Structure 1
Amino acid sequence: MPDSLQTPSVPLYSLQQWLQHLETLHPVGIDMGLERVSQVAKRMGLLSSPIAPRVITVAGTNGKGSTLAMIDSVARAHGWRVGTYTSPHLLRYNERVKIDGQEADDQLLVQGFEQVEQARLQGSEISLTYFEAGTLCGLWCLSNATLDLAVLEVGLGGRLDAVNIIDADVAIVTTIAQDHANFLGTDLAQIGREKAGIFRANRPAVLGSQTLPSSVAECAQVLAAPMFCLGQQFAHQAMASEPSRWRWQGQHPDGQRIVIDELPEPGLPIDNAATALQALVLAGLGLETVLVQTALRSVQLPGRLQWVGPWCLDVGHNPHAAEYVVRHLPQPPEGGRQWGLIGMLNDKDIDGVIQALASRISDWVCVSLSGERGCQASELSQRIIAQGGRVHFSADSPQVGVDWLAQVLTPNDRVLATGSFFTVAALLARPLPTGAASLDGDGNEIR
């Protein structure tokens, strides 16, 4: 760390005060580009040497979090010390930085933000967004943790995302679909090129879906990045002897094949599990069957088809994610209703999400999300009704929506709460009712 970074004085803030301070540093919340964040990273010494002996970066529209969680779980089961950086968080900012499976404590994050602030103010002051400052803090924490592997989740896009200041040894693109249209547009080929911006010349690129636009592979080819594609260099299939188990077939960098049988369902997409295993092989991990089985059985990812009593919580906020939820949502017990509690941001494909969920959900509670990006419950209600759905209640917040449902749920009812990280976070922060009342008709239904 350069001595000059000690010159600027920084305030003695708590973690919460730092987070509030970050919101004042830049005129807009999202400002795509690497110039400013790279300058501060150089001042911090983050670009002078690798932050870990091995770095895996994960980009994609959906599946980033589950792929990262399985990479982390499998690598740690093999004895590697792993650090991860993810976003956004559900309940605590500390969730964004984990070292050896443990959330970073307040003290470590405060030290990281102090380093960011010192570097930002050194010489000519550099403005950073909340996400950029948080990313630099996370990278500083990982770089000082003596890791075997760092796994970084891209926040938005890829090419111009702050995480992309780090050169990955292995880069993953999970899926490509429309999301963040205000920043990435709606052209899937262009979205693919943005996500593939994390690829590096002559370093492995893992393509974790068989339906990626051709632009992703084209970007890898231009860089001469060795490609490992789902369905080609690696694959998965159900075991004929036991359909609940699956086989993974992968490939070493030298082309040698590897097969692991009798893998358990991880409760997360198998495509992403297969992608995680391939990335770890390319990062140099020698996979052992028993350890992989143990890791996949124990992996957990809050907010992804997470069941809390009769409530299923899923952060899915685009049609691709909603379609996956629908395919894996079990039918409620006989006589029970499948409710949907939905809250979304207004820059998402709201109609597309509703359409995807409508095949399973006809009874809805709409909730407003706060902030300038939050969609109002009344707007959600109108869109659902336009597609033939029944809206029973519109609430000013997710909490109010839960309180209303608590009065009408029956023991056989089930609730899918979805549409946004903010919706799920609000529900995880409070007890959820199990339902013991009986519905008295459709008197509350809005037509």
Structure 2
Amino acid sequence: MPQTLDEWLGHLTRQHPLGIELGLERVAEVGKRLGLEARLLAKHVISVAGTNGKGSTVAMLDSLARSHGLTTATYTSPHLLRYNERLCFDGVEATDATLIKGFAAVETARLTPTAICLTYFEMGTLAALHAIAARPPDLAILEVGLGGRLDAVNVIDADLAVVTTVAQDHADFLGSDLEVIGWEKAGIMRAGHPVVLGSPALPASVAQTATRLGAPHYTLGREFKVSSSSAAKDHLIAASSSWNWQGTSAQGEALSLDNLPDPGLPLNNAASALQALALIGLELTPDACRQGLSQARLAGRMQWRDNWCLDVGHNPHAAQYLATRLAARPCRGRRICLLGMLEDKDAAGVIAALTPVIDAWLPVSLEGERGRPAESLAVLLEARDQRILRLAESPRVGADWLAQHLSGTDEVLVCGSFYTVAEVLAGWQAAESEEPICRGEENEIRNA
């Protein structure tokens, strides 16, 4: 068997011909061999699905739970710089040894008695579940990768499901019908178990699925709400320094929290996290909630470093949130977008959403089979009469050029893909440490 984490990641990449293969039969069988069905994963398990907003919801669930004294485990994907980011215990990344032990257990189980082929993501998911079950926390928070119903994470029966948003993405796998996409994401729901619906604009199929299952559902704008003296449209951002939350306990009692801090992440998702924790029976206290929201962090999501903002948004829905957030933040100089996207993403839609808040663009090329060349982005920008500063062969080259040509009042938005943000972050870290950054091999490109 492989010995190091990098060797394991390479093995995972090579052992299945496809990066993505939806379906639970193979994962469920290997999970059964691992004994996951008979083991307690955690005292409470929350699964989070959605097109956008999963990562920030998980981050705030985790921070809020820990601020109330709970032990936690989180499983997310993809990672930015290190595979270890995907599995955290009490906010700390899993060690190489923990991941290697999990991979070895999954490998043994999948080969005995007969071999079962698993994808990169499926192997990683089972390894993470195995590691969590070995040290069951008070709360395990699992981010669904793609869709919901057939995603490997759905092999676990969660106590509570959260659906954040539904928009078009991954059309090759999920199609373009939002009602169908909603139905797929609602597949993480379980009969009789509560569901938090984190947007007032979800397709009807989501709530219909909950009703059919007899799963009590709590919808943003009805059973729980966001309010402030100057709340933005659809409660997407905090336009003031504080906001208020009204929610509902599992017993139907009204709950409220006032003067909560802006976490720098979508308030829809903060409100959903609070509602989810209330429904698993956690007694929310104002001081702990303020602490949890203030300390919530998520790399690559509206992440500011001086006058640079990095965000992994890669579809029009995410880009619209970015634009709304940036519009509420005055910029004294130019706002420049370093944009790098994959070929199968809606680049035209992303550009259209960002155009009102961007003064100039620097398109960059992404490598790989699905990588989109900068020239392709330039064509779309020229069609909208946008100013292009130059083209760059990679995100790092583009970032290095910008760093030499910015004025003190300029701002830079780096966005379009996990790969775009990761390469810029890796370049900065390498420059600071004067050592190369190793990300490990990555065949699973679910959300980049």
TM-score normalised by length of structure 1: 0.92
1:77-119 CA-partner distances (Å, limit 9, x unpaired): 1110000000000110000000011000000000000001000
C-alpha contact 2:2 2:11 (8 A) present in aligned 1: no
Aligned-partner Cα distance in 2 for 1:228–1:259: 15
- For 1:20, what is the secondary structure of its paired residue? helix
Q: Is the 8 A contact 1:331 1:338 kept in 2?
A: no
Distance 1:75 1:92 in 2: 24
Determine the C-alpha separation between the residues in 2 that align with 1:259 and 1:402: 44
- Choose from 224, 240, 245 the match for 2:242: 245
Contact 1:332 1:413 in 2 (8 A): no
CA distance in 2, matches of 1:353, 1:320: 8
Tell me which of 143, 159, 178 is aligned to 1:169: 159
Residue 179 in structure 1 maps to residue 169 in structure 2: yes
* Alpha-carbon distance in structure 1 between the residues aligned to 2:399 and 2:257: 44
Q: 2:403 — aligned with what?
A: 406
SS state at 2:282 partner = coil
The one-letter amino acid of 2:56's match is S
Q: How many Å apart are 1:394 and its aligned residue?
A: 1.4
| Match among 61, 69, 83 for residue 59 of structure 2 | 69
1:295 aligns with 2:285: no
Q: Which residue of 1 aligns with 2:357?
A: 360
Runs of 4+ in 1 over 2 A off after TM superposition: 330-334, 430-433
Alpha-carbon displacement from aligned partner over 1:99-142 (angstroms, at most 9, x marks no partner): 01100000000000000100011111000000000000111111
Please say if residues 309 and 413 of structure 2, whose CA atoms lie closer than 8 Å, have aligned partners that are also in contact. yes
Count how many residue pairs are aligned between Structure 1 and Structure 2.
Answer: 422
Please state how far the C-alpha of 1:12 moved relative to its aligned partner. 4.1
The reply to whether residue 54 of structure 1 matches residue 40 of structure 2 is no
More helix by percentage: 2
Find out whether 1:29 has 2:19 as its counterpart: yes
Q: Conserved in 2, the CA contact under 8 Å of 1:37 and 1:162?
A: yes
What residue is the counterpart of 1:99 in the other structure?
Answer: 89
Question: Contact between 2:335 and 2:412, CA under 8 Å: does it hold in 1?
Answer: yes
Task: Tell me which of 288, 303, 306 is aligned to 2:303.
Answer: 306
State the alpha-carbon separation in 2 of the partners of residues 413 and 140 from structure 1.
47
1:6-54 alpha-carbon deviations (Å, 9 max, x no partner):
xxxxx14200100000011111101111111111111001122331111
- Structure 1: unaligned runs, 5 residues or longer: 1-10, 434-447
Deviations 1:230-262 (A, max 9, x none): 11111111158x942211111111211111111
Match of 2:71 in 1: 81
**What is the percent sequence identity of the aligned residues?**
55
How far residue 407 of structure 1 moved from its aligned partner, in angstroms, is: 2.7
Between the aligned partners of 1:333 and 1:359, the Cα distance in structure 2 is 13
Aligned residue number for residue 442 of structure 2 = none
- Taking the aligned partners of 1:247 and 1:408, their CA distance within structure 2 comes to 42
2:423 alignment partner in structure 1: 426
Segments of 5+ residues of structure 2 without an aligned counterpart are: 231-238, 432-448
Q: Look up the match of 2:391.
A: 394
What SS does the corresponding residue of 1:431 show, helix, strand or coil? Answer: helix
Q: Which amino acid aligns with 2:146?
A: L
Deviations 1:402-447 (A, max 9, x none): 12212321111111000011111111112399xxxxxxxxxxxxxx
Aligned-partner residue type, residue 191 of structure 1 = I
Alignment-derived partner of residue 366 in structure 2:
369
Which shifted more, 362-371 or 77-86?
Answer: 362-371
Q: Following the alignment from structure 2 to structure 1, what is the Cα–Cα distance between the partners of residues 146 and 353? A: 23
Letter aligned with residue 263 of structure 2:
P
Deviations, residues 341-361 of structure 1 (Å, cap 9, x unaligned): 000111111110011011111
For residues 302-343 of structure 1, the C-alpha deviation after alignment (integer angstroms, 9 at most, x for no partner) is 111111111110100000100111111155643x21111000
Shift of 1:393: 1.4
Contact (CA 8 Å) 2:39, 2:133: kept in 1 or not? no
The one-letter code of the counterpart of 2:336 is W
**Take 1:365 and 1:302, find their aligned partners in 2: how far apart are those partners?**
22
Contact 1:57/1:168 (CA < 8 Å) preserved in 2? yes
Query: Which of 23, 34, 40 is equivalent to 2:30?
Result: 40
The DSSP-based 3-state class of the residue aligned with 1:429 is helix
CA contact (8 A) 2:195 2:210 kept: yes
What residue number does 1:149 align with? 139
CA distance, structure 2, for counterparts of residue 148 and residue 284 of structure 1: 12
Give me the whole-angstrom Cα distance separating, in 1, the residues matched to 2:334 and 2:243: 33
Query: Contact conserved, 2:67 with 2:288, CA < 8 A, in 1?
Result: yes
Q: Does 1:255 align with 2:252?
A: yes
Cα distance in 2, alignment partners of residues 62 and 333 from structure 1:
26
Matched residue SS, 2:226:
strand
The one-letter amino acid of 1:393's match is R
Give the conservation status (yes or no) of the 8 Å contact 1:83–1:151: yes
Distance (whole Å) between structure 2 residues aligned to residue 57 and residue 389 of structure 1 = 41
> 2:240 & 2:20 partners in 1: Cα distance?
45
Aligned pair in 2 of structure 1 residues 248, 331: CA closer, same or farther (>3 Å)?
closer
* CA radius of gyration, larger in: 1
Say which SS state the counterpart of residue 307 (structure 1) adopts: strand
Could you say which residue in structure 2 is the equivalent of 1:8? none
Specify the code of the residue in structure 1 equivalent to 2:84.
Answer: N
Matches within 5 A, 1:331-370: 333-334=331-332, 336-370=333-367
Report what 1:111 is aligned to: 101
Contact 1:73–1:295, Cα closer than 8 Å, also in 2: yes
